Amino acid sequence: IPYEYGSFFILGAFWWAEILETDATGDLSGKAMAQINERKYEKILQSLPVIDLDEKVLGKKNAYWRQWIEHNTNDAYWARSNFMDKLKTLDIPVFLQSGWFDGDGIGSKLNYSALKQSRNKSLKLVLGPWGHTDTSSSRLGDFDFGKEAAPDLQKLYMRWFDYWLKGVDNKILDEPLVQLFVMFSNQWLKGPVYPLPETRFTKYYLTAGQAANSSKGDGALVTGAPGADAARAYEEYVYDPADPTPWPEYYYRSDEEVEKGKVTSQDVEEQKKKAKAFHQGVTDSRRDILVFQTAPLEEPVSIAGPVSAVLYASSDAPDTDWHVTLMDIDEKGEVFHLVRSALRARFRNGLDKPELLEKDKVYEFNLDMWQTGLTFQKGHRIRVEVASAMFPMFSRNLNTGGHNEKETKFRKATQKVYHTPEYPSHVLLPVVEVK
């Protein structure tokens, strides 16, 4: 589905629409896919209205592209393909596997949550340090998580199927049903359910002394709730759709991709340098990003499981977007992007209940930040960034309250994110113990 909590996933949606329209996967030489993957989407996707991108790029109207845009709520169009409620009625064994960096990883989280409500007691889940297809590699970018990070998943699948389909007594149900890999501690945590029963969900509160705008501000991330004597009640910025906050394009390539010729080692290095410089430039210079981070950690902090955020915020626009990102910052200031979120404000109460905002009224916004597992090492910082755009990954909210993908008019929005005892904005991290 090309929406994430109401925000249109324009980059992925248009990429996929172009693949379907041109039948690029049918070209066994790979040239058609390469041409699409090399396309400079950032400039293309700046065009308004979004709905007409098909004619501008593909040369004609594309039926499903336009249907996706016309149906921007959880209506009957999407209900036809929504199987989430059906999962709650299943009573057959299910094995779910995904990676912390899988672009479709939200599916495993949502599916597991739905299946937990069923009568099914045989629900297996494996989450490792992988992307969408690179499960046989222990490497991710510069990081090597060791041989434990690359188990023989095919063998595990076969044991599962042998037990349930062939009746082979291989004792697989004597093993923990849930396995989560913790990066940088490089070990698997195991348990009966997800999240693990021993998980301590810990709030890290957003705060600031002077201002949290950009990485040069003094935004802080702390475990103590805000007090009545806080120096500031909120952080403020202006979001302008004409100059949307950019998406820091971070790709973590694996050895497998290099070995298969998908990319070269030089490509990886160049991409890494470009991404680092871009992100640093964005967070150093832009006032429309709020940056909150801990002091250098005195002891390691390990997390494994679902991550979420609660923003108490207001806008002077009738609709806008919120994006929250979680990162690991090492002693040299190197950024390791972990998880991010998107929420279109009008859908704060559900995708079938669009409700516009009252001007400058404070609302509670709950953001699903997917899931991850890692140890923030001693001396590192935990960072959270808040913005109202992540372009061109997500389409811009035009702040008018109208149909964002069918309009061309837009306006600026003044945003306020609160951090008071009454409005304690925070992220919720799944803290676990590792050896």
pLDDT digits (tens, 9 = 90+) for 138-188: 887 778 899 999 999 999 999 999 999 999 999 999 999 999 999 999 999
- Closest to 234 in 3D by CA, of 25, 46, 101, 422: 422
- Closest to 81 in 3D by CA, of 89, 71, 90, 91: 71
- Domain boundaries defined on the chain: 3-79, 88-191, 201-432
Given a cut of 60, is residue 257 above it in pLDDT?
no
If you average pLDDT over residues 15-44, what whole number do you get?
84
Could you write out the three-class secondary structure of 168-181? CCCCHHHCCCEEEE
pLDDT at 42: 83
Given a cut of 80, is residue 374 above it in pLDDT?
yes
| From 14-23, 42-51, 204-213, 388-397, the region with the lowest mean pLDDT | 14-23
Q: Which residues are within 8 A (CB) of 266 and not within 5 positions of it... i.e. 6 or more apart?
A: none
Amino acid at 333: G
Residue 330: both structure tokens together: 């090492």
Q: Which residues are within 8 A (CB) of 256 and not within 5 positions of it... i.e. 6 or more apart?
A: 133, 134, 136, 137
- Residue 365, strand partner residues: 311
pLDDT at 184: 96
Higher pLDDT among residues 17 and 141, named by residue? 17
Given a cut of 90, is residue 278 above it in pLDDT?
no
pLDDT at 30: 80
How long a stretch of residues is the chain? 435
Amino acid at 393: M
Given a cut of 70, is residue 249 above it in pLDDT?
no
The helix (H) or strand (E) run that includes residue 379 is: none
- Answer yes or no: are the C-beta atoms of 335 and 327 closer than 8 Å: yes
CA distance 231 to 223: 17
Which of the four pLDDT bands, split at 50, 70 and 90, describes residue 405? very high
Amino acid at 204: Y
Which of the four pLDDT bands, split at 50, 70 and 90, describes residue 260? low
Mean pLDDT of the chain: 91
- Answer yes or no: are the C-beta atoms of 377 and 395 closer than 8 Å: no
pLDDT at 417: 99
Residue 333: both structure tokens together: 């200031």
Given a cut of 90, is residue 271 above it in pLDDT?
no
If you average pLDDT over residues 322-339, what whole number do you get?
94
- Answer yes or no: are the C-beta atoms of 417 and 234 closer than 8 Å: yes
Given a cut of 70, is residue 225 above it in pLDDT?
yes
Higher pLDDT among residues 274 and 382, named by residue? 382
Residue 169: both structure tokens together: 């007594």
Pairs from 77-82 (Cβ < 8 Å, separation ≥ 24): 78/1, 81/1
Given a cut of 60, is residue 253 above it in pLDDT?
no
Give the 3-state secondary structure of residue 303: strand
- Answer yes or no: are the C-beta atoms of 382 and 204 closer than 8 Å: yes
As to burial, measured by CB atoms within 10 angstroms (0-12 exposed, 13-18 middle, 19+ buried), residue 39 is middle
**CATH class of segment(s) 88-191:** alpha beta
Tell me which fold the domain 201-432 belongs to: Jelly Rolls (2.60.120)
If you average pLDDT over residues 108-117, what whole number do you get?
94
Which of the four pLDDT bands, split at 50, 70 and 90, describes residue 120? confident
Number of helices (H), then strands (E), belonging to the chain: the values are 11, 20
- Answer yes or no: are the C-beta atoms of 332 and 317 closer than 8 Å: no
Given a cut of 80, is residue 79 above it in pLDDT?
yes
- Residue 293, strand partner residues: 220, 383
pLDDT at 139: 81
Residue 150: both structure tokens together: 């690359």
Given a cut of 80, is residue 128 above it in pLDDT?
yes
How does pLDDT run across 287-329, given as a tens digit for each residue? 999 999 999 999 999 999 999 999 999 999 999 999 999 999 9
- Residue 8, strand partner residues: 3
- Answer yes or no: are the C-beta atoms of 10 and 47 closer than 8 Å: no
pLDDT at 186: 96
- Answer yes or no: are the C-beta atoms of 345 and 364 closer than 8 Å: no
